[in-house]
Amino acid sequence: MAFIVTESCIKCKHTDCVEVCPVDCFYEGPNFLVIHPEECIDCALCEPECPVDAIFSEDELPDDQIPFIEINAELSEVWPNITEEKDKLPEADEYANIKEKIHLLER
């Protein structure tokens, strides 16, 4: 079972989770992070670090976030690996509580 980055991360892209990952399984896009499902060791260190609660264990994923299983798998194959914490996006606070942001995902 892997952990999945969900919709809440879109246009926020906090990287607190990246800093604690022992296997460097995060990948970075323009306005979103993903976890490579085959590299994730299910350690759960990243989940509590996310300030917008965007990371879930695959078996605890809310029903409306299930498409993000495929999104994480697909984009982790093409986006570059990220291993160090960076500044959040400038608009992160504005988008932190907005729901239904999938249409804003930049691939």
Q: What is the pLDDT along the chain (107 residues), one digit of tens a residue?
A: 899 999 999 999 999 999 999 999 999 999 999 999 999 999 999 999 999 999 999 999 999 999 999 999 999 999 999 999 999 999 999 999 999 999 999 99
pTM of the predicted protein model: 0.97
The residue whose two tokens read 């460097």 is 24
Are the beta carbons of 54 and 47 closer than 8 angstroms?
A: no
Set out the domains of the chain in order of their start, with CATH numbers: 3-86 (3.30.70.20)
Query: What pLDDT was estimated at residue 41?
Result: 98
Neighbouring residues of 26: CB distance < 8 A, sequence distance ≥ 6:
15, 17, 18, 33, 34, 35, 36, 46, 81, 82, 83
**Residue 92 CB coordination number (10 Å):** 17
User: How far is residue 83's CA from residue 6's CA, in Å, rounded to a whole number?
Assistant: 19
